[in-house]
Chain A
């Protein structure tokens, strides 16, 4: 088994590290977080450097890249500038859905915009009554001549006001089976009748989330993505890669926290010796390093499976469950090693600690990951 990256992957990551050192230094990311500002300049730098073009078809300005390469990019972003990793990961589902199902006009608008530095299309799926039970959504789309009129309310719609478009999921009110009654639309965020209310969160301060109120928002019906009433399987087609990308960003965050912790353990002197010389700290660091290694291996394997068209039905859910928890634990341990310093708002670890917690909720909760993996494992056992 060859664990080496390709030369191209190594060179790309080296170049990305340098780009982030120039355009997304820790001081800037801390400042943006404090001001609750979207990282426009670093995001544009990623676009200018072609990072956002990876995996997009070349006819829309894209660059060929496999899923492992994009996973490495997401991990590096997560390590050096976690919010960029999150934003990149959130785009994985909407952008890839558009690559797969969008009309040529929609692809041209969205993909060329994304490659040029637009924020990813926001996903409008969650509603007040439809969280983990996402298929319980109620937003409607009503045809009126050549137009379609939307009504409904979306929750936790991350990036909604930052993005040019929302990928809006609606239900045919007469339908029950989500595979036959949910549709996917590209709704411009400046459409009259669309309002936003920013939600205050514990973390992700540079990656804002919104309640979105949609009242008689009218657009041409050419905004349909894919087929009418086939939006649910279309969305499911790329949930797995979005979760992988969220995992990759989380691994990066855990690696960053580990870096901070091990540096501090070597430097901080208490009772006349560096605290790293005490076994209690060494045990914490060793457990953190093991978890980081396990997480990396897990995400690389899932990426490899996807690149080889192997199904990852239960594997991706197990990976998401493991990584979300392990990254949370690693960063919590880093805060423990850093002690009071780690709990201050001046230190990167407090930000990672606040930001990482959402990974056990967003993109499918821990509990939903069990619900996905468990039945699949039992099914495999019955064969």
Chain B
């Protein structure tokens, strides 16, 4: 069984800085594996261990995703090999462009039985790329997957955690599944995993290798700003409840809120 897990590598949201005008700077951010994809990697690894087979990690983005440390980081989490699609136009790719590239890569890799994705990405969290990827491949596609079990030759038992119900499905392969963050607790790489990661195969493709044109600007981002932080006033209204309530009304009126 060949499993492909799609992984987004993004500037680490923990490193973002808010400029005085409220705009966001990611200039000093280290690039990292999107948190939501670690569960997808773990789900793929478990299935590969259960059913026998290989797990390929697949990512697309600008040159920043192809550092030696990121490759080792990704591969130390369990994939047997890694394929990267690198192009500068993928830096600000929208979900449609990303899905197009991932679909091209999955088709070029060939013989995939299952593609796994995280539920969203750490930077934009549109939760769209996996769905669109499934549509492009023409495979059964499900999101909100919280459990995956083998269900005989060419089939998986898939549990979906929906708002008011848990849906259990038998899904024929090949398929695309987007897993939730509570599907598992990703294992942590050991020193042995880290040392072995440097020896695993890495495949780097460009968009022309996939016969794809550069990613266009499908979405124009006008502005991204952080919510304005307001210093708490720390006003304490004590005393009897009636008096405190009256003081509160008076205070809110004075502040122009009421």
Contacts and interface: CB of A to CB of B under 8 A. Distances in A.
B198 A8 contact: yes
A225 interface: no
Main secondary structure of the interface of B (DSSP, over half): helix
A358 to B, nearest CB: 29
A12 B191 contact: yes
B188 A8 contact: no
Interface centre among B69, B185, B191, B195 (most CB of A within 10 A): B191
B191 A54 contact: yes
Contacts, number: 42
Interface residues of A, number: 19
Given A8-B194, A8-B195, A11-B194, A19 B72 contact: no
Interface of A: 7-8, 10-12, 15, 18-19, 22, 49-51, 53-54, 63-65, 69, 269
Contacts of B68: 7
Contacts of A53: 191
Nearest to A50: B190
The 9 A-B pairs of least Cβ separation, nearest first, read A50-B190, A7-B69, A15-B188, A63-B191, A11-B194, A15-B189, A8-B194, A19-B188, A63-B192
B144 to A, nearest CB: 25
Nearest to A65: B191
Contacts of A18: 188
B76 interface: yes
A15 B190 contact: yes
A11 B69 contact: yes
A272 to B, nearest CB: 10
B69 A49 contact: no
Contacts of B185: 22
Given A8-B198, A11-B76, A50 B69 contact: no
Interface in B232-255: 234
Contacts of B76: 11, 15
B72 A49 contact: no
Contact of A7 (B72, B188, B192): B72
Contacts of A65: 191
Nearest to B71: A7
Interface in B187-222: 188-192, 194-195, 198
A65 B195 CA distance: 10
Interface in B53-84: 68-69, 72-73, 76
Nearest to B72: A7
Contacts of B188: 15, 18-19, 49
